């Protein structure tokens, strides 16, 4: 009987507690849903605010000109950065491929080969991507291909990509390799000149020039240009570098040439293909924000770098 009374009492207690628990749980659930909803609402508000601010953020690239060509179904637009002086030319052309040509004026009045060495050294790594070959590996994953050449009056770096999406991914990485390369002692040692274990002259750039410098056609060509052009014209010199000059070219001289010539205001980006120009300007704005402390102001005087100690002729 006592047990029966205890069970009845327990039932009475449970009957009284269950509604209270239900009310408490209901309020707790409401509170959780309210808090979650409020956090979710705040999250969306924050994201919408970020998107709106990014959409309304003014670009630092000013449109200089825009025109259609008579000779081809293309529209050409030129932009100029008001922060760094970088030039951008977009040739809007229908097609599956996007081509980029990143050109710098690198005429030099000596036979040091500094422009040629930088063409190689820029692929050896950058401030945030400090390993040789990483740029090409990333480009391959984005269905892209990189290359470069050195001419008498300019150096051009190329990027060929199947579509804008891959191009846009590689572009800021590529530009960092040009503006902020590592230019290490080790890179100069392997790419420019060194003495190998058998006592022979070696180095990628040195070996290239060794293969052409003493050919009959190259000797005649260089001598003809030395007779034809004065000392203040780059066509008088061997842009690739003469072997005797490459042997004494130091990393400090290469870095000095890069500092003077590889500036955004001396750089022109030429993009050909179906380019999302609004997206392009956002990419370039973000890229410039990361290099402003490392490049001169566009109003700073620009002067071609000369290495007088290396201005030697063959004959």
**Residue 224, in any domain of the structure:** no
Residues 168 and 84 in one domain: yes
Residues 15 and 71 in one domain: no
**Residue 21, in any domain of the structure:** yes
User: Over the stretch 133-192, which tens digit does the pLDDT of each residue have?
Assistant: 999 999 999 999 999 999 999 999 999 999 999 999 999 999 999 999 999 999 999 999
Residues 129 and 34 in one domain: no
pLDDT at 86: 95
The residue assigned the tokens 């890179």 is: 187
Count of domains for the chain: 2
**Residue 48, in any domain of the structure:** no
SS (H, E, C) the chain: CHHHHHHHHHHHHHHHHHHHHHHHHHHHHHHHHHHHHHHHHHHHHHHHHHHHHHHHCCCCEEEEEEEECCCCCCEEEEEEECCCCCEEEEEECCCCCEEEEEEEECCCCCCCCHHHHHHHHHHHCECCCCCCCHHHHHHHHCCEEEEEEECCCEEEEEEEECCHHHHHHHHHHHHHHHHCECCCHHHHHHHCCEECCCCCEECHHHHHHHCCCCCHHHHHHHHHHHHHCCCCCHHHCCCCCCHHHHCCCCHHHHHHHHHHHCCHHHEEEEEEECCCHHHHHHHHHHHHHCCHHHCCCCCCCCCCCCCHHHCCCCC
Helix axis angle for 164-179 and 134-141, nearest 10°, is 170
**Residue 211, in any domain of the structure:** no
Residues 142 and 282 in one domain: yes
**Distances 123 to 3, 54, 62, 143, 158 between C-alpha atoms, Å:** 88, 32, 30, 18, 12
**Residue 258, in any domain of the structure:** yes
Instruction: Check which CATH number belongs to the domain holding 82 and give it.
Output: 3.30.830.10
Residues 153 and 28 in one domain: no
Could you tell me the pTM of the whole model? 0.78
Which tokens is 68 given?
């259609």
Residues 139 and 33 in one domain: no
Residues 16 and 80 in one domain: no
Residues 270 and 171 in one domain: yes
Residues 143 and 27 in one domain: no
**Residue 181, in any domain of the structure:** yes
> What residue numbers bound the domain in which 269 lies?
61-191+238-290
Residues 145 and 246 in one domain: yes
pLDDT at 56: 55
Residues 160 and 92 in one domain: yes
**Residue 244, in any domain of the structure:** yes
d(CA 178, CA 125): 9
Distant-in-sequence contacts of 194-201, Cβ < 8 A, 24+ apart = 201/243, 201/247
If you average pLDDT over every residue of the chain, what do you get?
84
Below-50 pLDDT ranges, the chain: 1-6, 9-16, 21-22, 24-25, 28-54, 308-315
Residues 129 and 182 in one domain: yes
**Residue 200, in any domain of the structure:** no
Which tokens is 227 given?
């007779």
What count of other Cβ atoms lies within 10 Å of the Cβ of residue 282?
17
pLDDT at 51: 43
User: Over the stretch 69-81, which tens digit does the pLDDT of each residue have?
Assistant: 999 999 999 999 9
């Amino acid at each position: 009987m006592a047990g029966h009374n205890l069970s009845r009492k327990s039932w009475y207690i449970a009957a009284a507690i269950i509604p209270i628990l239900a009310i408490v749980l209901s309020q707790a659930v409401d509170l959780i849903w309210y808090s979650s909803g409020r956090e979710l609402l705040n999250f969306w508000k924050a994201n919408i605010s970020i998107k709106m601010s990014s959409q309304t953020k003014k670009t630092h690239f000013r449109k200089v000109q825009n025109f259609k060509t008579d000779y081809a179904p293309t529209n050409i637009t030129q932009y100029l950065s008001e922060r760094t002086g970088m030039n951008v030319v977009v040739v809007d052309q229908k097609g599956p491929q996007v081509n980029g040509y990143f050109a710098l004026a690198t005429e030099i009045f000596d036979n040091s080969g500094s422009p040629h060495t930088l063409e190689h050294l820029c692929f050896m790594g950058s401030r945030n991507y400090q390993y040789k070959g990483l740029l090409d590996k990333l480009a391959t994953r984005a269905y892209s291909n990189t290359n470069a050449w050195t001419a008498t009056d300019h150096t051009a770096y190329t990027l060929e990509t199947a579509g804008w999406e891959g191009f846009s991914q590689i572009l800021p990485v590529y530009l960092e390799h040009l503006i902020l390369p590592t230019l290490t002692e080790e890179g100069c040692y392997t790419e420019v000149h060194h003495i190998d274990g058998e006592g022979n002259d070696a180095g990628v750039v040195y070996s290239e020039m060794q293969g052409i410098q003493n050919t009959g056609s190259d000797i005649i060509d260089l001598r003809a240009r030395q007779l034809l052009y004065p000392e203040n014209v780059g066509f008088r010199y061997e842009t690739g570098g003469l072997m005797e000059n490459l042997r004494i070219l130091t990393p400090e001289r290469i870095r000095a040439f890069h500092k003077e010539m590889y500036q955004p205001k001396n750089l022109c980006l030429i993009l050909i293909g179906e380019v999302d120009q609004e997206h392009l300007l956002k990419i370039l704005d973000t890229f410039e924000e990361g290099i402003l402390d490392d490049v001169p102001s566009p109003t700073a005087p620009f002067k071609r770098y000369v290495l007088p100690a290396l201005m030697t002729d063959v004959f």
